[in-house]
Structure 1
Amino acid sequence: MTEQTILIDPDLAWRAVQARDRSFDGRFVTGVMTTGIYCRPSCPARHPKRENVRFFASGAEAREAGLRPCKRCKPDDVSRDEAAVAKAVELIEGAEEAPKLDAIADCVGYSPTHFLRVFRRAMGVTPAAYARRLRAERAERALEKEERVTDAIYEAGYSGPGRFYAETGKRLGMTPSAWRRGGEGVTIRWAIAETSLGDMLIAATERGICRLSFDEDEAALRRRFPNAEIAPADAAMANIIASAVAAVDDPARPHGLSLDVQGTAFQEAVWRELTRIPPGETRSYAEIAAAVGKPNAVRAAGSANGANNVAVLIPCHRVIRSDGSLGGYAYGLKRKEALLERERRR
Structure 2
Amino acid sequence: MTQTTTDRLNQQRWQQVQQRDATADGSFIYAVITTGVYCRPSCPSRHAKAENLRFFDNASDARAAGFRPCLRCKPDEHPHAARQARITRLCRLIEQAEQTPTLQQLADISGLSRWHLQREFQRETGLTPREYARAVRQQRLQQQLSQASTATNAAFAAGFGSTSHFYAEVASELGMPAADFRQGGNKQQIGFAIGPCPLGRVLVARSELGICSILLGDDDQLLEADLRTRFPKAQCTPDSGLGQQLNAVVALIESPHTTQQLPLDIRGTAFQRRVWQALRAIPPGQTRSYAELAEAMGSPSAARAVAGACAANPLAIAVPCHRIVRSDGSLSGYRWGVERKRALLQREAQDPPDE
Same fold (TM over 0.5): yes
- Once the two structures are TM-superposed, the CA of residue 275 in structure 1 deviates from its matched residue by 2.7
Residue 193 (structure 1) aligns with: 195
Q: 1:140 to 1:252 in 2, by over 3 A?
A: farther
Partner of 1:11: none
The residue number in structure 2 matching 1:224 is 227
Q: Is the 8 A contact 2:334 2:341 kept in 1?
A: yes
For residue 308 of structure 1, what is the amino acid of its counterpart?
N
- Using the TM superposition, give the Cα deviation of residue 158 of structure 1 relative to its aligned residue in structure 2, in angstroms: 0.7
Confirm or deny that 1:281 pairs with 2:282.
no
How far did residue 310 of structure 1 move?
1.6
In the other structure, the counterpart of 1:32 is: none
Contact 1:123 1:294 in 2 (8 A): no
Match of 1:244 in 2: 249
Structure-2 change in CA distance of 1:218 and 1:280 (3 Å): same
For the residues of structure 2 that align with 1:278 and 1:75, how far apart are their CA atoms?
A: 43
Q: 1:128 to 1:267 in 2, by over 3 A?
A: closer
Contact 2:210/2:264 (<8 A) preserved:
yes
**Deviation, structure 1 residue 340:** 1.7
Post-superposition offset of 1:106: 4.8
The aligned runs of 1:13-24 (5 Å cut-off) are none
Alignment check: 8 A CA contact 2:279 2:321 kept: yes
Is the aligned partner of 1:317 residue 2:318?
A: no
How far 1:188 sits from its partner (Å)? 2.4
Matched, 1:76 2:101: no
The answer (yes or no) to whether the contact 1:177–1:184 under 8 Å persists in 2 is no
Give the counterpart letter for 2:220 in structure 1: D
8 Å Cα contact 2:214-2:316 kept in structure 1:
yes
CA separation of 1:205 and 1:81: change in aligned 2, threshold 3 A: same
What displacement does 1:326 show?
A: 1.0
Deviation track 1:144-166 (CA, whole Å, cap 9, x = no partner) reads 43343222211111112322232
Moved over 6 A (4+): 77-81, 176-179
Map of 1:51 onto structure 2: none
Question: What is the aligned partner in structure 2 of residue 174 from structure 1?
Answer: 176
Distance 1:303 1:104 in 2: 26
List per-residue Cα deviations over 1:190-233 (Å, max 9, x = no partner). 22334343432222122111221233425632553266444433
Bigger shift: residues 127-136 or 253-262 = 253-262
Give, in angstroms, the shift of residue 177 of structure 1.
10
Distance in 2 (alpha carbons) for counterparts of 1:81 and 1:293:
17
1:173 positional shift: 1.0
Is 1:135 equivalent to 2:137 in the alignment? Answer: yes
1:305 to 2:306 alignment? no
Partner of 2:70: none
Q: Which residue of 2 aligns with 1:233?
A: 239
Q: Which runs of 5+ in 1 are unaligned?
A: 1-21, 26-39, 44-68
Query: Residue 170 of structure 1 aligns to a residue in which SS?
Result: helix
Q: Secondary structure at the match of 2:314?
A: coil
Contact kept? 1:210, 1:259, Cα under 8 Å: yes
Match of 1:244, as an amino acid?
Answer: V
Q: TM-score, normalised by structure 1?
A: 0.64
Where structure 2 has 5 or more consecutive residues not aligned to the other structure, the ranges are 1-21, 29-57, 63-74
Q: Tell me, yes or no, if the aligned pair for 1:271 and 1:305 is still in contact at 8 Å.
A: yes
How many residues are paired up? 281
The answer as to whether partners of 2:215 and 2:223 remain within 8 angstroms in 1 is no
Q: For 1:154-189, what per-residue CA distance to the aligned partner results, in whole angstroms no more than 9, with x for missing partners?
A: 11111123222323422321369979x997322222
For 1:79-228, what aligned pairs fall within 5 Å after superposition?
A: 82=83, 85=87, 88-89=90-91, 92-106=94-108, 108-174=110-176, 184-214=186-216, 215-217=218-220, 220-222=223-225, 224-225=227-228, 228=234
Shift of 1:294: 8.9
Q: How much is the aligned-residue C-alpha RMSD, in angstroms?
A: 4.1
Q: Secondary structure at the residue paired with 2:60?
A: coil
Q: Distance in 1 between matches of 2:121 and 2:177?
A: 32
Identity of paired residues, percent?
A: 38
The aligned amino acid for 1:280 is G
Give the structure with higher Rg (CA). 2
